[in-house]
A and B are shown apart, each in its own frame.
Chain A
Amino acid sequence: MATSVLIGAWVAAGLTLCMFSFLYKDNPFFRFGEHLYVGISMGYTIVRIYYDVMVKSLYAPVTQEGKWWFLIAAVLGLLVLTRFIPKISWLSRISFAVIVGFGSGVAIPRIISSNILQQVQGTLRPLLGNNGQSLFGMAQLNALLILTGVVTVLVYFFFSIEHKGPIRGMARIGIYFLMINFGAGFGYTVMARMSLLIGRFDDLILFGSREYGYASLVLLGMISFGLFMWERGRTRTEPPPD
Chain B
Amino acid sequence: MRELAGKLLRMDRRVIFILIALATLIPLLRPIGFPIRISPEVKRVYDYIESLPPGSVFLLSLDFDPASKPELYPMAVALLNHAFKRDLRVIGMTLWVTGTGMAEKVVSGIANEYGKRRGVDYTFLGYSPGGTNVIINMGQDLAAAFPTDHYGERTADLPVMRGVTSLRQVNYVVSLAAGTPGVESWYVYGKEKYGFELGGGVTAVIAPGLYPFLDTGQINGLIGGLRGAAEYETLVGLKGKAVAGMDAQSATHFVIIGLIVLCNLFYFLTPRIGLRTLPGTRSGSSESR
Interface positions of A (Cβ within 8 A of B): 23-24, 41, 44-45, 48-49, 52-53, 56-57, 60-61, 65, 103, 106-107, 110-111, 113-115, 118-119, 121-122, 146, 181, 184-185, 188-192, 194-202, 205
Partner of B71, one of A45, A111, A113, A196: A196
Given A52-B129, A195-B226, A122 and B147 contact (CB-CB distance below 8 Å) = no
Known: A53-B129, A118-B218, A199-B70. A191 touches B204 (CB 8 A): yes
1/0 per residue B20-38: CB within 8 Å of A? Answer: 1100110011000000000
Q: How many A-B residue pairs have CB under 8 A?
A: 132
How many Å lie between the Cα of A61 and that of B227 in the bound state? 44
Please name the 9 residue pairs, one residue from A and one from B, whose CB atoms are nearest each other, closest first: A199-B70, A122-B216, A192-B204, A195-B226, A191-B204, A194-B252, A198-B245, A188-B204, A192-B205
A111 nearest CB neighbor, chain B only: B188
Q: Is the CB of B128 within 8 A of A57?
A: yes
CA distance A139 to B234 in the complex (A): 29
**Cβ contacts under 8 Å, B217 to chain A:** 122
Residue of A nearest to B148 (CB): A56
Indicate if the CB atoms of A44 and B98 lie closer than 8 Å: yes
Bound-state Cα–Cα, A234 to B170, Å: 61
Within 8 A of A (CB), among B223-275: 224-227, 241, 244-245, 248-249, 252-253, 256
CB within 8 Å of A: which of B185-228?
187-189, 192-193, 203-205, 207-209, 212, 215-218, 224-227
In the complex, are the beta carbons of B24 and A197 less than 8 A apart?
yes
Can you report 22 A-B residue pairs in the complex whose CB atoms are below 8 A from each other?
Answer: A48-B97, A53-B129, A56-B147, A103-B132, A106-B136, A114-B187, A119-B212, A122-B212, A122-B217, A185-B209, A188-B208, A190-B253, A190-B256, A191-B226, A192-B71, A192-B225, A194-B248, A195-B249, A200-B70, A201-B25, A202-B28, A202-B70
A111–B132 Cα gap in the complex (Å)? 13
- Chain B residues with CB below 8 A from A106, complex form: 132, 136, 189
- CB of B182 within 8 Å of the partner chain: no
B204 touching A48, Cβ below 8 Å: no
B249: nearest residue on chain A (CB-CB)? Answer: A194
* Interface size in chain B (residues, C-beta < 8 A): 54
A55, B21: Cα distance in complex, Å: 45
Q: Does B67 count as interface, using CB distance less than 8 angstroms?
A: yes
A44 nearest in chain B by CB position: B98
CA distance A199 to B238 in the complex (A): 18
Whether A188 contacts B14 by the Cβ 8 Å rule is: no
Contacts of A49 in B (CB 8 A): 97, 129
Complex: how many Å from CA A109 to CA B128?
24
Contacts of A103 in B (CB 8 A): 132
Contact A196 B129 (CB under 8 A): no
Contact, CB under 8 Å: B212 / A197: no
- In angstroms, how far is the closest chain B Cβ from the Cβ of A207? 13
The smallest C-beta distance from A49 to any residue of chain B, in angstroms, reads 7
Residues of A within 8 A of B101 (CB): 44
Least Cβ–Cβ distance between B181 and chain A, in angstroms: 12
B127 within 8 A of A: yes
